[in-house]
Amino acid sequence: MSGSEAFAEIIDGDVYKYYADGEWKKSASGKFVPIINPTTRNTQFKVQACSQEEVNKIIETAKLAQKSWAKTPLWKRAELLHKAAAILKQHKAPIAECLVKEIAKPAKDAVTEVVRSGDLVSYCAEEGVRILGEGKFLVSDSFPGNERTKYCLTSKIPLGVVLAIPPFNYPVNLAVSKIAPALIAGNSIVLKPPTQGAVAALHMVHCFHLAGFPKGLVSCVTGKGSDIGDFLTMHPGVNCISFTGGDTGIAISRKAGMIPLQMELGGKDACIILEDADLDLAAVSIIKGGFSYSGQRCTAVKVVLVMASVADTLVEKVNSKVAKLTVGPPEDDCDITPVVTESSANFIEGLVMDAKQKGATFCQEYKREGNLIWPLLLDNVRPDMRIAWEEPFGPVLPLIRINSVDEGIHHCNASNFGLQGCVFTKDINKAILISDAMETGTVQINSAPARGPDHFPFQGLKDSGIGSQGITNSINMMTKTKSTVINLPSPSYTMG
Ligand code: G3H
């Protein structure tokens, strides 16, 4: 199906293979996991249901491969990453096609995801060469009681085997955002893609294979979470976990051993709109922030908190834009496409019905066909409604009318999430005060929340995550500091 001969070896019959020890393999389990197309709700692809024995083998090889990779010069690691980035971009069409079929990502956005991923890999190679090429030199006499008898040299060393678990909504981009920093820093990588998105991820991994990375350094294991999920995340051979997804991340962090964790677990990003805001700009940002990829982004605007005095005008502006959103299949590049699974659609519907029962104002008629849910703005939402707090991960956006900025900040901070937020005002001084008061990892002033550009730090507070991402932070997170101390027989001070 890939439309490219380059990917012929990654499939056997109609089941995609997994990648281990530099080869594409069939699982000895003889079982497969079906991938349901969100639009047709039929099986689109099948991937191998790998076993725990196969996971053990993969981690064993990853350990060995990492030892030699750590001895590979930094510039050579960067060179291979640049090569993989170029191959990835060259094959953007077949990979994007998988994203369209597996996760119903609109065709244009699917291509953008692959191109952005290639750029991320290249940037990571360049950043790694710079930051890993530097260390620190410290002298002992700055600490009280010491003469200048000790020189301390610090450098960054790899952690070992990094387990990468990306989510369905960016199975390529959020995979490479973990793979590239891990590799440039001298680690090996074991990728467990989400079930939906696995085939796009396997195609992406093949680009790394074509680039010529050493055998076993990059592996990709597919299968049921219930069979290999805990086994992978609790595996003693794993030295670091980078996970993006939902609540599962909380369970992983409780079970994982004493290893560094990087977690990004969703958000309930609040959009606070002041009386002096540019309401046209706010409306455009709400549409982009709330409805792009049908609201299935952790950084989506998930609640609008608008000053009551400007609420009517804002709602009118947003509604006129909602009316222009196209709804339909991802192949037609529609703005609103089917949500990823039927259970997702059912969950979203549950939130909508709860809001209906409790008296929210429906700005549009609620409409659903299969997994396709029409965009909906819910006005006059109150804190007793589930949708005021829970993330729909769908094209349904609650709006709460507030009477003071403090009320908006209070609502934002009462959430158990703290990923991003945004504030719209023409008064930069007020914006800074509000940003400082919001308990979120990032606050965007006069724009919708977003992770990118991908070199910006990206982090969530509270249940939104552990650690910070973004290219530089991820490279640093996937290393440890190593010190070598030179002890001199007598104090030595530099002169002149
Ligand atoms: O879904 C979570 C992603 O990290 C959001 O990324 O802001 O680029 O859509 P994005």
Q: What is the model's pLDDT at position 1?
A: 42
Helix axes 308-322, 279-291, angle to 10 degrees: 60
CB 48 within 8 A of CB 222: yes
CA 451 to ligand 1 centroid distance, Å: 5
Is 453 touching ligand 1 by the criterion CB < 6 Å? Answer: no
Query: Where are the CATH 3.40.605.10 domain residues in the chain?
Result: 5-265+464-481
Query: What averages of pLDDT result for each successive group of 10 residues across the chain (496 residues)?
Result: 78 98 98 98 98 98 98 98 98 98 98 98 98 97 98 98 98 98 98 98 98 98 96 98 96 95 97 98 98 98 98 98 98 98 98 98 98 99 98 98 98 98 98 98 98 97 97 98 98 94
- Annotated active-site residue in 113, 264, 390, 391: 264
Return left, alpha or beta for 467; rule: phi > 0 is left, psi -120 to 50 is alpha, else beta.
left
Q: Is 469 strand, coil or helix? A: strand
CA 249 to ligand 1 centroid distance, Å: 16
The length of the chain is 496
Is 169 touching ligand 1 by the criterion CB < 6 Å? Answer: yes
Which atom of ligand 1 approaches the CA of 449 most closely? 7
Angle 415-419-422 (CA atoms, 0-180°, nearest 5)?
90
Query: Where are the CATH 3.40.309.10 domain residues in the chain?
Result: 270-445
- Rounded to whole angstroms, what are the CA distances from 64 to 24, 211, 220, 257, 270? 19, 20, 16, 21, 46
Per-residue DSSP letter, 226: I
Is 298 touching ligand 1 by the criterion CB < 6 Å? Answer: yes
> If residue 424 lies in a helix (H) or strand (E), which one and from where to where?
strand 420-424
- Can you give the pTM of this predicted structure? 0.97
The number of angstroms, rounded, from the C-alpha of 64 to the middle of its chain's C-alpha atoms is 28
| Distance of alpha carbon 258 from alpha carbon 134, whole angstroms | 27
Is 450 touching ligand 1 by the criterion CB < 6 Å? Answer: yes
- Alpha-helix residue ranges (DSSP H) falling in 133-149: none
CA 290 to ligand 1 centroid distance, Å: 12
Domain 5-265+464-481 fold:
Aldehyde Dehydrogenase; Chain A, domain 1 (3.40.605)
| Distance of alpha carbon 79 from alpha carbon 409, whole angstroms | 47
What's the token pair of residue 293? 């990829």
Q: What is the model's pLDDT at position 496?
A: 86
Pairing of β 161-165 and β 240-244:
parallel
pLDDT tens-place string over residues 120-159: 999 999 999 999 999 999 999 999 999 999 999 999 999 9
Is 300 touching ligand 1 by the criterion CB < 6 Å? Answer: no
CA 131 to ligand 1 centroid distance, Å: 25
Amino acid (1-letter code) at residue 97: E
Identify any residues that bridge with 376 across adjacent strands, giving them in sequence order.
396
Per-residue DSSP letter, 44: E
Which atom of ligand 1 approaches the CA of 169 most closely? 1
Q: Which residue's C-alpha comes closest to atom 2 of ligand 1? A: 298
Is 116 touching ligand 1 by the criterion CB < 6 Å? Answer: no
Q: What is the model's pLDDT at position 221?
A: 98
Work out the number of other CB atoms within 10 angstroms of the CB of residue 312: 12
Q: Which residue's C-alpha comes closest to atom 8 of ligand 1? A: 451
Work out the number of other CB atoms within 10 angstroms of the CB of residue 43: 12
Q: Residues with Cβ < 8 Å from 476, sequence gap 6 or more?
A: 131, 156
| Distance of alpha carbon 13 from alpha carbon 185, whole angstroms | 37
Give which of 396, 373, 187 is closest to 286, Cα–Cα.
Answer: 396
CA 170 to ligand 1 centroid distance, Å: 8
CA 450 to ligand 1 centroid distance, Å: 6
Residue 105: exposed, middle, or buried by beta-carbon count in 10 A (0-12, 13-18, 19+)? buried
Per-residue DSSP letter, 225: I
Strands (E), 370-478: 372-373, 376-379, 396-402, 417-418, 420-424, 442-445, 458-459, 461-462, 465-466, 468-469
DSSP secondary structure, 150-185, as one string: EEEEEEEEE-SEEEEE--TTSTTHHHHHHHHHHHHT
| Distance of alpha carbon 312 from alpha carbon 273, whole angstroms | 12
Strands (E), 159-311: 161-165, 188-191, 218-220, 240-244, 261-264, 269-273, 301-307
* 264 classed as catalytic: yes
Domain 270-445 fold:
Aldehyde Dehydrogenase; Chain A, domain 2 (3.40.309)
Q: How far apart are the first and last CA of the chain?
A: 70
Q: What is the model's pLDDT at position 4?
A: 72
The single residue listed with the structure tokens 């004493």 is 258
Is 451 touching ligand 1 by the criterion CB < 6 Å? Answer: yes
Residue 115: exposed, middle, or buried by beta-carbon count in 10 A (0-12, 13-18, 19+)? middle
Give which of 82, 270, 253 is closest to 180, Cα–Cα.
Answer: 82
